[in-house]
Copies of this chain bind each other. A is one copy, B any other.
Amino acid sequence: MTRIPMTERLDQGWFTEVFDSHGSAFSLMIKDKLHEVQSPYQHLEVYATETYGNLMVLDGCVMLSTRDNFLYHEMMAHPALFAHAAPKRVVIIGGGDCGTLREVLKHPGVEQVVQIDIDEEVTRASQRYFPELTASNDDPRATLKFEDGVKWVESAPEGSVDVMIIDSTDPVGPAEGLFEVDFLTRCHRLLADGGVLVQQSESPLYHTGSIIRELRADMQRAGFDSVATLPFPQPVYPSGWWSATLAGKGSDVTRFRERDAAAVEFPLEYYSVETHRGALALPPFMRRALSA
């Protein structure tokens, strides 16, 4: 079976991401290619689509669109922050588009956020093509570092972080090291008692029995005391269904500050105390696969 080459599809007005190992593909109709750069780490493209706003693509994989990134960014930030009793010091590994950073900075109790993305080109492209995501970057609580997150985690002081957000690409290429038990063990060391870690954990339909199950096992091996996988819709990602997996150090991530979450005064599109509760309720097929 031959594939339609990406370039040929593009000539015809579509961007297509083929999910080879899952036998599916997702396409968006595009108006224009706005930006293309080969950074030292990956190939970055930005397209103007017909209906999803702008689209950022890294090494051929869709990272985010203007239209639906609110789902991912809210679910990477708020469940972890509300699962922590009083988060003040937050670290984001990856997340160069700054969408997760923006959500974290909405929490008035957060005192500092350090974001470490290896690739400055991602942040530069986001500033230009997704300015709404980088609008909070000048917040004095925020520090943006462009270096290797794995190395940064190795050298950061023990017990110095309340919430760690691993906002990475898929577990191949530059982000491979972020899905290893050694890295999780170092994250665990970095977290203060009561700390919460969250990592994007791929598709409930495609990866429950593989990546999600392995990540949860690795989190437990790394010393975390509780884990919780929260599914949410994400149209531009494989299967249109995605997940974040939380892990607690001396804290129970299956619970959260419901009263505080219900009382938020900042703007939200997807996250609410009810959607958080709903996401904690794993569908039976996932519950069975993860307890097996």
Contacts and interface: CB of A to CB of B under 8 A. Distances in A.
Interface of A: 1-4, 9, 12-14, 16, 18, 22-29, 49-52, 67-68, 70, 204-205, 231, 233-235, 239-241, 268-272, 274-275, 277-285
Give how many copies assemble into the complex: 2
Contacts of A49: 23
A103 to B, nearest CB: 13
Given A25-B29, A271-B283, 9 more contacts: A14-B25, A24-B52, A25-B27, A25-B28, A67-B205, A235-B241, A240-B241, A272-B284, A277-B277
Max chain B C-beta neighbours (<10 A), residue from A22, A49, A240 = A240
Nearest to A239: B235
A16 to B, nearest CB: 8
Nearest to A25: B27
Contacts of A22: 51
Instruction: Tell me if A's interface is mostly helix, strand, loop or mixed.
Output: mixed
A28 B241 CA distance: 16
A269 to B, nearest CB: 4
A283 to B, nearest CB: 4
Contacts of A234: 240
Nearest to A21: B51
B268 A275 contact: no
Contacts of A268: 284
A249 to B, nearest CB: 26
Contacts of A50: 23
19 contacts: A3-B13, A4-B9, A16-B25, A16-B27, A23-B49, A23-B50, A23-B51, A24-B26, A24-B27, A24-B28, A27-B27, A235-B241, A240-B240, A240-B241, A241-B241, A269-B283, A271-B283, A274-B278, A275-B278
A18 B29 CA distance: 10
A49 B29 CA distance: 24
Nearest to A273: B281
A1 B24 contact: no
Contact of A23 (B24, B52, B274, B285): B52
